[in-house]
Structure 1
């Protein structure tokens, strides 16, 4: 059984269209997370570029191994903490809403492209990803990655649980008035799959969107381990792998599924 994983959730304000400023803020957050003993820092959706910035997304998009990756790798290495960050990935002329894990040695460990696009805002800017379950092992913990609207579909979270994910990372840009996603749906997703879930949001305005904060780390019983309000916060807490084992002692939802009645 691995040791608990100390995770930092970086709920903050965005730096819309200003990647240099976003990297400066990320560097500060990484150092603060490391000072709190965190092994992993998670930031919101599209944290390096901004989200609701229209056509500027394409201008700021770059390949996965571009300058932004190099900069984040240096930040992670200098701070000694793994970093999950969001950016616009350019692939053969297509732009993806992507999230990436870089470990404390500056090595890319996972790259996920948002599969469920949210309304015209997403569809006018991004191409959907086609890989449903992306995972990485970090210090013995099986991490999975999805983005924002993805979590509102039970199928993708269940697919992660079935694939062995024990901590699901969900960078998001949740806007008003849909606070119930953060307060009701996210805890339910963690509980029904008996996994930890880290949901990390912004807490500012961007264009006509007001981001509601409410970032959270939820345990496999659906209870909040960490919960932010509506202002900037760096939340730090532990993901204890024994909690998953305890939650699944009885009932164990994955075991008790009636696949003979409703398929996979």
Structure 2
């Protein structure tokens, strides 16, 4: 079983002047990630456009197979690295806060729509998604997708664990002063649900928002095996399926569940 090297791209900060700016930066990040042996590059929530868009969200949103997706697919295929990126997705009259998973050959593998919208800003501009567990295989791992606030609900991560997710990828736009999420909560989620968790945040200021950075890859041992700083960064670490299986054998959380007692929690 082959470990998967994951690159977390935290940047660039600020709202890009156009998708071309963020896509050129993505192309450079993919080149650097591939040269370091990465098989997967993960970007932040709303990477293509920036997060603090206000009413421009509706104008900049595009379909899942739109020009942004086509350009990301070309970048993935050119560098031979799979990519997960955040973007505003238009579907008819609705706009979703979405994350798309592109394979290393440019194939669109999965698309996830954020199910738990954060705050008045997101509630005003986006429709909440209705499919919690979205997955696709990559090498020896099953990859699942969530976005930012979603991971702060233990039910969401546990649903992925029970559905067989090995690596949970979470494009993020976490603001200050909530650094406790990447520092404490994300490693705890990985430990309690026995999976790898790749958390790629934004950094710097956009409008009224100041993002915390601190992107990380947390393992089933509850340890952050890679940690970014608070500015633009590219960090790498491995998700090892053999180590994950060994951890699951040793850690009884999933085996010792008693779901017949949990009905009232829903």
* Partner secondary structure for residue 116 of structure 2: coil
Distance in 2, Cα, partners of 1:252 & 1:124: 42
Q: Which runs of 4+ in 1 moved over 4 A?
A: none
TM-score, normalization by structure 1: 0.97
Residues 212-238 of structure 1: CA distance to partner in whole angstroms, max 9, x if unpaired?
A: 110000010111110111122111111
Distance in 2, Cα, partners of 1:14 & 1:231: 8
* Partner secondary structure for residue 203 of structure 2: coil
Contact 2:4 2:240 in 1 (8 A): yes
Listed as ranges, the matches of 1:9-158 within 5 Å are 9-14=8-13, 16-17=15-16, 18-158=18-158
Distance in 1, Cα, partners of 2:259 & 2:125: 37
Distance in 2, Cα, partners of 1:108 & 1:175: 29
Give ranges in structure 2 of 5+ residues lacking alignment: none
**Mapped pair 1:215 → 2:215:** yes
TM-score, normalization by structure 2: 0.96
Contact 2:52 2:207 in 1 (8 A): yes
Q: CA deviation at 1:249?
A: 2.1
Q: Aligned-pair RMSD on alpha carbons?
A: 1.1
Q: CA deviation at 1:13?
A: 2.2
Give ranges in structure 1 of 5+ residues lacking alignment: none
Q: CA deviation at 1:52?
A: 1.3
Q: CA deviation at 1:246?
A: 2.0
* Partner secondary structure for residue 65 of structure 1: coil
Residues 167-203 of structure 1: CA distance to partner in whole angstroms, max 9, x if unpaired?
A: 0000100111110011111111001001100000111
